[in-house]
A and B are shown apart, each in its own frame.
Chain A
Amino acid sequence: MSALLAVEGLGKDFTLHLQGGVTLAVLRGVSFTLHAGECVALTGPSGAGKSTLMRCLQGNYGADAGRILVRHRGAMVDLAAADARAVREVRAETLGYVSQFLRAIPRVPAIELVMAEGVGREEARGLLLRLNLPERLHGLPPATFSGGEQQRVNLARGFARPRPLMLLDEPTASLDAANRAVVVQLIHEAKARGCGIIGIFHDAGVRDAVADRLFPVLPLEATEAA
């Protein structure tokens, strides 16, 4: 079966013009594939570039080398070369992203953030309740919520209409054990529907419960020495 995602020779640098133009090389020659129903966990020490890789895959960071081929509408689209409109289209239909931080929009209540994903009020309510977000919070804008509450709104939004390819950046970072279990269940359900998932899971228990494979992201010095 053909891949949902094929990353080929991905490279990413940051040139800091305000710091004398120093260039930091973060990713070099990253290659892997992901198939339907599979969950790959990115591992590696802090600062190795896991989140950078994730942001490149989402199109939030531009890749400097290589290709990011995503199966979109039956064809492989290279996100590394796609223009802004194409990236938006891939994100809308194919590529979901749940980060650990919610970018709150002023005045928009939690439930409407979830409904904006294209689900009805009842479904949105059900998902928020499943993630243990009390009903009295549903009608409030999440700007004043705690970190864990905001993250659960974010998760509800991400899983309301799961895309075929999901990127999860520390989805359980500020959650307690009960809520972590809900997230593990949501991931299993998404995989059973054929979603491919790439995740950074700080919590080893969650990682072991959901990941089929580990993909180590190593700091560049280590890669070069090897």
Chain B
Amino acid sequence: MSALLEADALHLRFGAVRALDDVAVSIWPGEVVAIVGESGSGKSTLLRVLSGQVAPDAGGVRYAGAEVHALGEAQRRRLMCTDWGYVHQNARDGLRMGVSAGGNIGERLMAAGTRHYGAIRDAAAEWMVKVELDPARMDDRPGMFSGGMQQRLQIARCLVTQPKLVFMDEPTGGLDVSVQARLLDLLRRLVGELGLAAFFLTHDIAAARLLAHRILVMRHGRVVEEGLADRVLDDPRHPYTQLLVSSVLAA
């Protein structure tokens, strides 16, 4: 077995700001890697570079033997709708608000090559159930759903094509705490059942502990600490990680 995606020596500057400063990352099949750090730490930039949306100034990202940033736009789009999934923090960025819930899920299947209308509708209904949405609401538009429901719909849209690797940008950000817990539990279950590899951006330490196998701590564009999730949280070495862990209020 080998790494699914590997990146090394990533550098990216925005003017005087080092958004990425010599970052190396890898992820293996079935592995969930949480990237934690405060706003401005470079974690969102890292996710965009890993998923091929933003090119680094230096360094490369390899997926399944291919250099991601050397792919043409069509090949990259193809990868995005077959092998990869991307869950945006704001569900509205990942959904088409003018299309029904079922259509949102089915559309991605069609983009990945499925043509049979009945099969698409069946898959959409099945995925609505998997993310705990009522399939009877398949024809409702996403705008009629609550924030947490929209986020679950986005997850269904993302996972219906059974991607191998999912990029999640603070998927529980901006949701009520009770809604977050439900979404996290759902993600934990789906990731386990589907054997997904996932990058998961969060500033929520408890969420990282629940979902991730491995944690990367970022600060000022650098990975300051990484390792086994429970070890990074229970035996943090870097001053910044110690600060992060000690700042959490125990409920």
Contacts and interface: CB of A to CB of B under 8 A. Distances in A.
B208 to A, nearest CB: 13
B243 A18 contact: yes
B21 interface: no
Nearest to A82: B228
Interface string A78-119: 000000110110000000000000000111100000000000
Nearest to B245: A18
Interface residues of B, number: 23
A147 interface: no
Nearest to A56: B235
A18 B214 CA distance: 24
Q: Is the interface on chain A under 10, 10 to 19, 20 to 34, or 35 or more residues? A: 10 to 19
Interface stretch (A57-65, A150-158, A159-167, A202-210): A57-65
B242 A16 contact: yes
Contacts of B230: 60
A61 B235 contact: yes
Give the one of B28, B181, B228, B246 with max A CB within 10 A: B228
B185 A84 contact: no
Contacts of B188: 105
B28 A85 contact: yes
Contacts, number: 49
Contact of A15 (B181, B182, B231, B237): B237
B213 A84 contact: yes
A18 B239 contact: yes
Contacts of A55: 234-235
The 4 A-B pairs of least Cβ separation, nearest first, read A17-B239, A84-B228, A61-B235, A106-B181
Given A62-B227, A84-B231, 12 more contacts: A17-B238, A17-B239, A18-B239, A18-B246, A55-B235, A59-B231, A60-B230, A60-B231, A84-B213, A85-B28, A105-B210, A107-B182
30 contacts: A15-B237, A16-B242, A17-B238, A17-B239, A17-B243, A18-B239, A18-B243, A18-B246, A55-B234, A55-B235, A59-B231, A60-B231, A60-B234, A61-B231, A61-B234, A62-B227, A84-B213, A84-B214, A84-B227, A84-B229, A84-B231, A85-B28, A87-B231, A88-B228, A105-B185, A105-B188, A106-B181, A106-B182, A106-B184, A106-B185
